[in-house]
Amino acid sequence: MDEDVVRERDARAYEAVHDAADFTELKRRYKNFVVPWTIAFMTWYLAYVACNNWARDFMNTKVVGHINIALIFGLLQFVSTFVIAAVYGRYANRKLDPLAAGLNAKYKRERRR
């Protein structure tokens, strides 16, 4: 098959998917999840950094033995990262993947035309 014909068919398929209402909805759902969670995590991270710089007495407060608040906050950074990843995985499986699968099927149908 001629390369120009393939490119034209691919371009039409991409445009059809891009113009679909499901594509707009997919982008909206993705942004509605990612933006608030990114802001929340960055706020949490910057609070941790700020406390380490300017609230040293608070961060040096011993909790149990040699474990202080700074160490707990540092470990919670890792925990929060994994929690957000797990929440995103569940959200994507329920809200994003069905739309993406439909758009993929639409793309494949359009390419065959």
Q: What is the dihedral of CA 94, 95, 97, 101, to 10 degrees?
A: 120
What is the C-alpha to C-alpha distance for residues 87 and 85, in angstroms, rounded to an integer? Answer: 6
Whether residue 3 has pLDDT greater than 90: no
- 22-26, 84-88, 105-109, range with the lowest pLDDT: 105-109
Q: How large is the average pLDDT for residues 13-37?
A: 96
Q: How many CB atoms lie within 10 A of CB 106?
A: 16
Q: What percent of the chain has pLDDT over 90?
A: 84
Please give the model's pTM, rounded to 2 decimal places: 0.85
